Structure formats: C-alpha cells, structure tokens
C-alpha cells in the first residue's frame, strides 16, 4: 500500500494537449436523455464525432451489449475499437477514468487510472450503477492500474494545465448533492492528492443554462496552454450569465492566469421552452486537432467561432461537428470524450 501511495504522489494529470494514446467515448444508451431529440439522432452525431477524432487518434468506443452491433455498423472500422460493457448513459468525461502519468523512483514511466465515485450529477438521473462501475472495467481493459478515490467528482467539473493548476466551480464541486460530508478544504486536499496538482482555482457559478451538471467548468472554461485559459463571457450586461462571467474572470486573473474572453454563446430551447446553451468552449483537444461543437443555428457565428479558435490553437486542425443534439441531451463534445494520455517517453 505504501508503494502505491508513493507512486501516486509522483503522478499528475496531463493537460488535454499532451499526447494521447486514445480517446474514450460511450455510445448513447439512455433514451430519456435524448427526449428533446431522439436516440437515433444522438447516435448519428456520436458516430460523426468518433469519425472526426479517429482521423487523428484511435478511439475506444464503449457500447452497451445490446447496442454494440449497432455501434460497429455506424463507426469507421479503422482506428475505432468497439467494446461491449454495461452502461446507463453516454457521458464518459464524467464517469470514465482520469489517467495520471509520471515516473517512478527509478525513472520508469508509469500511469494510473483515478476512479472517483460517480453519482450521476447528484443523483439527477437513475439508474447509474453501471456507469459508476465502468471506469474500473475500462482500466482493466487498458491494463492501467486503478486508484479508487472516495469522493464524487466528474471529469467535466475540472480543467488542468499540466503544471500544477486546476480549475473548478464552487457551484458543482461544493454542491451538497456531491460530497455533503466533506468541507471545501477536504475536497481540495483530496483533489490535489489524487490528480497531482498544487493550485486549485475556484470559480463561482457555471452557465445558468447548465442545470443538469450544476455548472460544469468545461462549459465555461478551457486551458489553452500553461497558465492561459479561455473563458466564456457574454456580450451584454443584461445577459443572465454576465455577473458570473465577470466574477470568474476576476478569480482567474487573481490566480495569475492569463484570461482570453470568448463572447460567442449560441442558445436554443428544449421542447418545453427551457433555454439551453451550446458553448463552443466545450471543445475537445485530440492529437493535432480541436473538435468543436457547432450550434448550427447561425452559420456566421459558427464560422467566427472556428476562426477564433483556430487562431487561439495554432498548429491544430479545427474541426466542427454537430453540437445542437448533444446540447439537447445535456452536454457537448468535451462531455462525451475522455482522453487516455500516452505514457511519458
């Protein structure tokens, strides 16, 4: 046990732009998730996202056994491996393993898979027992040793820059529906230890429209590089997200982070009239590319978002994929993906 603790202390969560071994994605399984569109539409979009990523790196696609053959028919045969595992839903960013990497005392490269507890965003959706178990099953398949952490945390609630900084939101990580018996200090200490970070930067609230996840950070903020972050802002002071965006910008700057403000935020509505956002900031970085969710509501805005992100992410191909269906289901491209960083060279 002591040896495992020593190894874990030497490891850290690499930034998303570090080289990947592969990307993990799950095939849509819960029909109720897609009540404002359809599971068929969701699967079409997932297939398109998987194909976009597979052009740059291998993809491991997890499908419920009942749906595995359907997934195999729809995705590229090359660089996509479909594995049948019992799942409830399809947001592997949140319930998948978080792989940390580093070197042991002898200098040999090592990786560990951090497996936080998962309770379906504060038990907002049930059942979730199969999703809570999938990280351990994936780590066994990947042959990466597992480190279980007794704390609820979703991958979409954090962002790291690889040199010791981690960003999260108070709205999510301090929400009593996640870890009601832990204090802020205890949560921060657990995150530092599990992910090998030195500085936890607490933002306040996420998007008003992000009720399903209680304000995940990957809908408002993404690191562009070491100490440099893209932050979702809004163009007008009458926007319901204006106050939170200003507060978050101030918190990031106070933490010594260079802030790039991004004021494009398309919105649509659910069938019942509930507004939802389709943030471009929910992009995913794979090897050599940025996969960006497009709202497909205003072509000029989509084009402008791709142009800006292309300038902010030099050396990467910026690839737009459909984002509206994912947003109607409760997330975006980043929410359905989880990177497996390559072992250090």
Note whether 42 and 71 are within 8 A (CB): no
Kindly give the residue spans of alpha helices, DSSP state H, lying in the chain: 2-9, 39-54, 68-74, 92-95, 120-123, 129-142, 170-173, 184-195, 242-254, 299-312, 324-329
Bridge partners for 231 per DSSP: 221, 261
Active site residue 335: yes
20-26 and 59-63 beta bridge pairing: parallel
Six-digit token pair at 115?
């497996």
Six-digit token pair at 90?
């399809």
Kindly give the residue spans of alpha helices, DSSP state H, lying in 198-322: 242-254, 299-312
Sign, CA dihedral 177-114-187-199, equals negative
Which residue do the tokens 């960006």 mark? 292
Which of 26, 40, 22 has its CA nearest to residue 130?
A: 26
- How does pLDDT run along the chain (345 residues), one tens digit per residue? 334 444 444 799 999 999 999 999 999 999 999 999 999 999 999 999 999 999 999 999 999 999 999 999 999 989 999 999 999 999 999 999 999 999 998 899 999 999 999 999 999 999 999 999 999 999 999 999 999 999 999 999 999 999 999 999 999 999 999 999 999 999 999 999 999 999 999 999 999 999 999 999 999 999 999 999 999 999 999 999 999 999 999 999 999 999 999 999 999 999 999 999 999 999 999 999 999 999 999 999 999 999 999 999 999 999 999 999 999 999 999 999 999 999 988
Q: Can you give the pLDDT at residue 2? A: 37
Task: Report the distance separating Cα 97 and Cα 66, nearest Å.
Answer: 23
Task: Report the distance separating Cα 85 and Cα 125, nearest Å.
Answer: 19
DSSP letter string over 114-149? EEEE--HHHHTSS--HHHHHHHHHHHHHHT--EEEE
pTM (predicted TM-score): 0.96
DSSP letter string over 182-194? --HHHHHHHHHHH
One of 172, 221, 286, 335 is an active-site residue; which one? Answer: 335
Note whether 338 and 21 are within 8 A (CB): no
Task: Return the beta strands (E) in 13-73 as ranges.
Answer: 20-26, 59-63
Q: Can you give the pLDDT at residue 4? A: 43
Q: Can you give the pLDDT at residue 9? A: 46
Task: Report the distance separating Cα 189 and Cα 257, nearest Å.
Answer: 21
Note whether 57 and 287 are within 8 A (CB): yes
Task: Report the distance separating Cα 213 and Cα 227, nearest Å.
Answer: 25
For 163, the domain range is 2-341
Q: Residue 261 CB: number of other CB atoms within 10 A?
A: 11
Q: What is the CATH number of the domain that holds 308?
A: 3.75.10.10
Note whether 161 and 216 are within 8 A (CB): no
Which of 267, 298, 294 has its CA nearest to residue 281?
A: 294
Residues in the chain: 345
Q: Can you give the pLDDT at residue 7? A: 41
Q: Can you give the pLDDT at residue 27? A: 99
Task: Report the distance separating Cα 44 and Cα 58, nearest Å.
Answer: 19
What total number of domains does the chain contain? 1
Strands in 98-103's sheet, in edge-to-edge order, are: 11-12, 98-103, 109-117, 146-152
Q: Can you give the pLDDT at residue 8? A: 42
């Amino acid at each position: 046990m002591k040896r495992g603790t020593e190894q874990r202390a030497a490891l850290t969560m690499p930034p998303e732009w570090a080289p990947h071994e592969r990307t993990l994605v799950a095939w849509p399984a819960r029909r109720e998730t897609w009540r404002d569109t359809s599971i068929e539409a969701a699967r079409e979009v997932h297939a398109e996202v998987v194909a976009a990523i597979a052009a740059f790196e291998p993809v491991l696609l997890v499908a419920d056994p009942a749906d595995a053959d359907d997934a195999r028919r729809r995705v590229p045969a090359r660089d996509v491996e479909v594995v049948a595992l019992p799942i409830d839903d399809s947001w592997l960013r949140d319930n998948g393993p978080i792989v940390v990497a580093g070197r042991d005392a002898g200098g040999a490269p090592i990786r560990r898979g951090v497996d936080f507890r998962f309770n379906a965003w504060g038990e907002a959706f049930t059942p979730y027992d199969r999703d809570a178990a999938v990280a351990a099953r994936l780590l066994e398949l990947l042959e990466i040793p597992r480190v279980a952490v007794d704390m609820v945390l979703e991958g979409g609630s954090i962002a790291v820059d690889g040199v010791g900084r981690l960003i999260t939101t108070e709205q999510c990580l301090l929400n009593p529906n996640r870890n009601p018996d832990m204090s802020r200090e205890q949560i921060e200490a657990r995150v530092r230890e599990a992910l090998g970070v030195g500085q936890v930067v607490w933002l306040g609230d996420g998007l008003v429209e992000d009720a399903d996840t209680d304000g995940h950070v990957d809908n408002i903020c993404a690191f562009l590089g070491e100490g440099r972050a893209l932050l979702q802002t809004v163009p007008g002071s009458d926007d319901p997200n204006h106050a939170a965006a200003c507060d978050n910008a101030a918190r990031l700057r106070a933490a010594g982070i260079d802030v790039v403000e991004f004021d494009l935020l398309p919105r649509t509505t659910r069938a019942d009239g509930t507004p939802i956002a389709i943030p471009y900031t929910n992009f995913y970085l794979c090897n050599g590319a940025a996969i960006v969710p497009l709202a497909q509501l205003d072509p000029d805005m989509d084009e402008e978002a791709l142009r800006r992100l292309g300038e902010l992410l030099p050396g990467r191909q910026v690839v737009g994929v459909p984002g509206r269906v994912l947003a109607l289901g409760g997330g975006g491209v980043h929410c359905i993906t989880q990177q497996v960083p390559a072992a250090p060279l």
